[in-house]
Structure 1
Amino acid sequence: MRKRSIKNTRVSTEVQRELSNIIRGGIKDPRVAPWTSVVTAEVAPDLKTCKAYISVLGDAHEQEETIKGLQSAEGYIRRELARTLNLRNTPEIRFVLDQSIEYGVNMSKKIDEVTKGLKSEGDADAE
């Protein structure tokens, strides 16, 4: 199966959806932050491995602890995936911290600061 095939895309989407459901409702580990989301899941073409990109709302310590908690619960998560998805092989999951949402929020704040500065200078010029 090719990496960009329709089947691989569908499997990746289903894995992402089920991972988010399991993380939201099934994990009782206190290290996992309540504002944890699965940004995307990339399943390998042979369906043996999966990279799950995780976004955590919080500071660096909370992000690190959430990844550790998810790695320790990997067996449970994989078992739940096997139970809910009808796949021949349940992929091994690697959790990767995704900083893109945090980066976007920071850039948006910086843009707002710059535009606010431009508006105040424009108001001073108008007077």
Structure 2
Amino acid sequence: MAEHRLERINQYIQQKIGELIVSGKIKDPRVDTLLSITRVEVSRDLSYADVYVSTFKSERALHRGIAGLQHAAGFIQSQLNLALHIRQTPRLRFHEDHSIQEGFEIIKKIEGLHSESGD
């Protein structure tokens, strides 16, 4: 499958899952609207998609959110199937991504260094 098509599918799935989270259509209470889909990697044969989830909240909130998303995976896949118009909708696998939390920690360290220098 062409790389550009896979990239478009990755971006579309990322956008669609983000919209479902923000709009509150995923009814699982563990899925917080502050969860962010950082990237999606669909396999070449479209059999599965690895979805990376991050948040600036606690590690516990991230674990709960991923569990909620995994529980709602069937609903999310059905919503993707309605919109993607492809023969096989990828099976979703959700993973932790600590990039947002790590980014906040780096900013705090930089601000700490900046305040220590007296500027």
Same fold (TM over 0.5): yes
Structure 1: gaps (5+ residues): 121-127
Quote the residue 1:41 is aligned against: 40
For residue 16 of structure 2, what is the amino acid of its counterpart? E
Shift of 1:95: 0.5
Quote the residue 1:30 is aligned against: 29
Output one character per residue of 1:12-35: Cα deviation in whole Å (capped at 9) or x when no partner: 111111111122221011111121
Aligned-pair identity in percent equals 32
Output one character per residue of 1:12-69: Cα deviation in whole Å (capped at 9) or x when no partner: 1111111111222210111111211111111111111101111123112211111111
Report if aligned partners of 1:29, 1:69 keep a CA contact under 8 Å in 2. yes
Output one character per residue of 1:97-125: Cα deviation in whole Å (capped at 9) or x when no partner: 110011011011101111211236xxxxx
Structure 2: gaps (5+ residues): none
- Cα distance in 1, alignment partners of residues 84 and 106 from structure 2: 38
Report if aligned partners of 2:40, 2:51 keep a CA contact under 8 Å in 1. yes
1:65 paired with 2:64, answer: yes
Point out 4+ residue stretches in structure 1 off by more than 2 angstroms.
Answer: none
Quote the residue 2:14 is aligned against: 16
- Cα distance in 2, alignment partners of residues 34 and 63 from structure 1: 12
For residue 13 of structure 2, what is the amino acid of its counterpart? V
Quote the residue 1:81 is aligned against: 80
Aligned-partner SS, 1:64? helix
What is the aligned length?
118
Quote the residue 1:99 is aligned against: 98
- Aligned-pair Cα RMSD in Å: 1.3
For residue 75 of structure 1, what is the amino acid of its counterpart? G
Aligned-partner SS, 1:58? coil
